Amino acid sequence: MRLPVNKKLLERYATSAPRYTSYPTAIDWVADSFEPLDYAQHLTNAANNSSDPLSVYIHIPFCAEMCLYCGCNVVITRREDRVERYLKQLETEFERVAETGIGRRQVHQYHWGGGTPTHLTCDQIRRVHAMFTKVFTLTDDAEVAIEVDPRVTNQEQLEVLAELGFNRISMGVQDFDPKVQEAVKRVQPKEITVGLVESARKLGIGSVNLDLIYGLPHQSRALFAETVKETIILRPERVALFHYAHVPWMKKHQTAMDMESAPSSEEKIEIFLDSVEAFQDA
């Protein structure tokens, strides 16, 4: 069944707004309005008042280098001591969460995001997962997902993830065009992405998600259609199609991008509509 998309509605709401990636949205949080004891009490209440399954998200903020379009909460480092300090803090966090009793509720959705979770070594991946399983139990049909960067994720890491029960893998592509990749400092030859998708499937990781971004420098309606075509060839189970959020007053590294060469607002709407149509036809 085809999903109707209203172009006039898209044009009407083509304006800046908070990124709706969580609830409440980031702008609803006010400094000093939510204390650690409030957090613990809410978890205790949630443990006592319901037995419904939970979603649990673990944030691994580390990346080896910065992609210019990035709007995420990341830490650029190659220092092992910074990673180790973070993992120790994460262990402490899990201990505090366990004290609230929330672990009595099973977990139906379990997700690692970043940053780049596969910035961690195989031993560190096992360690973080052990922190989780010490507190929580997964449902039999749980979705166990992780975001990875194809440029830094190796076969051994994939094997560990499959062994630990990860059944969905999400990877950034953004755009297959080399000129766009150069412009956003995310050079990722197509062969690397294809190889990771194939390896994941051979290991039994049954759901693959590919992230695409439109609105980047040097993109056009025709060129992005080629990226969509290459994506469809890979037959991902999911696609995340993001509109690029240019917020250089918040993310200073974005000032390094040449936005004069980015598609216009009108062309971005056409790119989105073309992409939705192509994915639905596929």
Query: Number of H helices and number of E strands within the chain?
Result: 9, 8
pTM score, whole prediction? 0.91
Given the candidates 1.10.1040.10, 3.40.1360.10, 3.30.750.200, 3.40.50.1820, the CATH classification of the domain at 173-282 is: 3.30.750.200
How long, in residues, is the chain?
282
SS3 label, residue 243: strand
User: Would you say the C-alpha torsion 69, 70, 75, 76 has a positive or negative sign?
Assistant: negative
Average pLDDT over residues 106-131: 97
User: What are the residue boundaries of the structural domains of the chain, listed by start?
Assistant: 33-166, 173-282
Q: Convert the pLDDT of each residue in 5-61 to its tens digit.
A: 888 888 888 777 666 667 777 777 777 778 888 999 999 999 999 999 999 999 999
Q: Which of 230, 62, 71, 224 is nearest to 149 (CA)?
A: 62
Per the structure block, which two tokens stand in for 165?
């029960």
